[in-house]
Amino acid sequence: MIIVNIKKKDKKVKEIIIKGHADYDNLGKDIVCAAVSTMAITSINNIIALEETIDYEEKAGLLKIRVLNDTEINQKILDNLIRMLKELSCQYPKNIEIRNEV
């Protein structure tokens, strides 16, 4: 299962940690893993293209996104990422779980 931990402070996203594997299908054929990866990397690339206000770390089965500087743009993109991940978790509840941490 993919676990998404969302850390917020004052209602602003400070960190998103995505770890694990969906186990929906075999490695390389897993549509849930592919969707999560696509959403996350696209969001990261959008923020970096517009303004360098985040840091990220990517390893096998782990992606950490850290907000370095709160801006309206990065918050909107990260909020959108969270909405998409929540929608995916509704469709595949056995494969992805969203956890909010304050």
CATH fold of 2-101, please?
Alpha-Beta Plaits (3.30.70)
Per-residue model confidence (pLDDT) at position 28: 85
In degrees rounded to 5, what are phi and psi of residue 28? 90, -15
Strands 62-67 and 96-101: unpaired
SS (H, E, C) the chain: CEEEEEEEECCEEEEEEEECCCCCCCCCCCHHHHHHHHHHHHHHHHHHHHCCCEEEEEECCEEEEEECCCCHHHHHHHHHHHHHHHHHHHHCCCCEEEEEEC
Q: Is the pLDDT of residue 58 over 70?
A: yes
pLDDT digits (tens, 9 = 90+) for 72-91: 999 999 999 999 999 999 99
Q: What is the pTM of this model?
A: 0.92
How confident is residue 102, by pLDDT bands cut at 50, 70 and 90?
A: low
